[in-house]
Amino acid sequence: MAVLTHERFEGFAEAFGGDVSRWPADARDAAALLMAAEPGFTQGVLARAETLDAALDAWRPTPASAGVTARILSAAPRLRRGWRLWLSPAVLGAGLAAACAAGVIVGVQLQERTSEASEVAVTNTLSAVSSLDLEEGA
């Protein structure tokens, strides 16, 4: 870590102000060493810089008006069209109705298939029984 000379310390205060935490990161440790070693000199330099900092801080910006905030928000991106469409009540309602209808159709088909399967199973069983009878009779 480089040692700060008086001149360099004054240079940093002149450029970055009286708050050492706002000086360049690589100068802060060396500044702290000089402040510990020579508090009289360093405090005088920082106090002088702080008077200018305080004057600069007296000028506070006017906050943005409600009007400009509203104009900015009104120009902002909207939810992507696809999502907006899917989230609209009409599409949600139609989707729900379609899902119900699909459920009914699938249910009916399943029921029909189950009946068909049962019929096939019964027919197979009957055929087996008849062939058994025939064999026994033979």
Site residues (vs another protein, CB under 8 A): 11-12, 14-17, 22, 24-25, 51-53, 55-56, 58-65, 68-69, 71-73, 75-80
Distance CA(23)–CA(8), nearest Å, equals 12
CB of 22 to another protein, least distance (A): 7
Nearer to another protein, 36 or 56 (CB): 56
Nearer to another protein, 79 or 105 (CB): 79
CB of 94 to another protein, least distance (A): 23
CB of 36 within 8 A of CB of 4? no
Dihedral angle computed from the Cα positions of residues 50, 54, 55 and 56, in that order, rounded to the nearest 10 degrees: 100
Distance CA(74)–CA(77), nearest Å, equals 9
Nearer to another protein, 79 or 110 (CB): 79
Nearer to another protein, 65 or 137 (CB): 65
Distance CA(137)–CA(76), nearest Å, equals 89
